[in-house]
């Protein structure tokens, strides 16, 4: 049985975490919004690249994230 590797969904810019759209244990599909970031008064949705189950949320609302910071982990 093949085991898939975890997918770390990362920020691609410096931004504030506006909302977290998922909870640990939630099932997501490719293209689902997992986190909504805010930068320079623009809202930027962060999308799941593939389907899976959310196993970890690494940020909280109000956090300032940097480019490359892990936001959510999906297995």
Is residue 2 one of the residues assigned to a domain?
no
Task: Give the model confidence (pLDDT) of 32-73 as tens digits.
Answer: 999 999 999 999 999 999 999 999 999 999 999 999 999 999
Is residue 1 one of the residues assigned to a domain?
no
Number of domains in the chain: 1
Is residue 63 one of the residues assigned to a domain?
yes
**pLDDT, position 3:** 55
Cα separation, 63 vs 31, in Å, equals: 23
The boundaries of the domain holding residue 45 are 7-74
Q: What is the CATH number of the domain that holds 30?
A: 2.40.50.100
Cα separation, 29 vs 71, in Å, equals: 16
Is residue 16 one of the residues assigned to a domain?
yes
**Contact of 67 with 8, CB cutoff 8 Å:** no
**Contact of 59 with 69, CB cutoff 8 Å:** yes
């Amino acid at each position: 049985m093949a085991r898939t590797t975890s997918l770390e969904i990362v920020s691609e810019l410096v931004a504030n975490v506006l909302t977290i759209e998922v909870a640990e244990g939630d099932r997501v599909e490719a293209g689902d919004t997992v986190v909504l970031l805010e930068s320079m008064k623009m809202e930027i949705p962060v999308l799941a690249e593939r389907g899976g189950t959310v196993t970890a949320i690494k940020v909280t609302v109000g956090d300032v994230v940097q480019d490359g910071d892990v936001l959510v982990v999906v297995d």
